[in-house]
Structure 1
C-alpha cells in the first residue's frame, strides 16, 4: 500500500513539474496604481499558492490554540477527579422493629 501511495506522489510531482516547465512564458499581473509585475506564469501561480497556504495556516492558529487550552483544562480536571477519593455512602439501615 505504501508503494502505491509513493507511486501516486511521484506521478503528481512529475505532472506538476512538466506543467511548470511548459508554462515558462512571461505573464503580466497588473495591480492598482499602475504597478505591473512581470514573471513566468508558474512563478505567479506558485506565489499565489504560497500566499493562500500562509493565509490558511494563520487562520487555523486561533482555533488550534483554543483547542489546546481546552485540552489542557480537561486533562487537569481529569487528574483532579482521579486524585479525589471516592466516598461511597452506604444506604441507611432499615429500622428495627
Structure 2
C-alpha cells in the first residue's frame, strides 16, 4: 500500500513539475495604486502558494495552542485522579419492606 501511495505522489510531483516547466513565460500581476509585478508565471504561482500556506498556518495556530493547553490540563487532572486515595464504597442497603 505504501508503494502505491509513493507512486501516486511521484506521479503528481512529475505532473506538476512538467506543468511548471511548460509555464515559464512572463506574466504581469497588477496591484492597486498602479503597482505591477512582472515575473515568470511559475514564480507568481509559487508566491501565492507560499502566502496561502502561511495564512493557513497562522489561522491554525490559535486552535493548536488551545488544544495544547487543554491537553496539559487533562494530563494534570488524570495525574491528580491517579494519585488520590481510592474511596471505599459501601455496599448498597437492602430494600426496606
TM-score, scaled relative to structure 2: 0.90
**Where in structure 2 are there 5+ consecutive unaligned residues?**
none
The aligned counterpart of 1:28 is 28
How has the CA–CA distance of structure 1 residues 88 and 41 changed in structure 2, closer, same or farther, with 3 Å as cutoff?
A: same
How has the CA–CA distance of structure 1 residues 82 and 24 changed in structure 2, closer, same or farther, with 3 Å as cutoff?
A: same
Q: CA RMSD in A?
A: 1.6
Moved over 6 A (4+): none
**Where in structure 1 are there 5+ consecutive unaligned residues?**
none
Q: Deviations over 1:34-68 (max 9, x none)?
A: 11100011110110010000000010000000000
The aligned counterpart of 2:50 is 50
How has the CA–CA distance of structure 1 residues 10 and 91 changed in structure 2, closer, same or farther, with 3 Å as cutoff?
A: closer
